[in-house]
Amino acid sequence: WDEFWKVVKGNGACNKERVETRKKAFDDGAWVREAATAYHEKRKSREEQNRKTV
């Protein structure tokens, strides 16, 4: 059970690799989040402009 609880607490054999992989995936996906935010802002701006012209 000692080994089991070590893994549960984050001290497993692959924990460091798993965390590094997740961080890399998050960092690599930053451009997607930025693009989605920019797209949202652009659509929001266009909708506001359309409301003003109506």
Per the structure block, which two tokens stand in for 17?
């690799």
Considering only residues 7 and 33, tell me which one the structure prediction assigns the higher pLDDT.
Answer: 33
pLDDT at 20 over 90: yes
Instruction: Provide the number of structural domains found in the chain.
Output: 1
Q: Is the pLDDT of residue 54 over 80?
A: no
| Tally of residues, the chain | 54
For residue 47, the enclosing domain spans: 2-53
CA distances from 49 to 11, 34, 44, 52, 53 (A): 54, 23, 9, 5, 6
Residue 27, helix vs strand vs coil: helix
Tell whether the model's pLDDT for residue 9 goes beyond 80.
Answer: yes
What is residue 5's predicted lDDT score, i.e. its pLDDT?
Answer: 92
C-beta of residue 12 within 8 angstroms of C-beta of residue 6: yes
Whether residue 14 has pLDDT greater than 80:
yes
Note the pLDDT of residue 37: 98
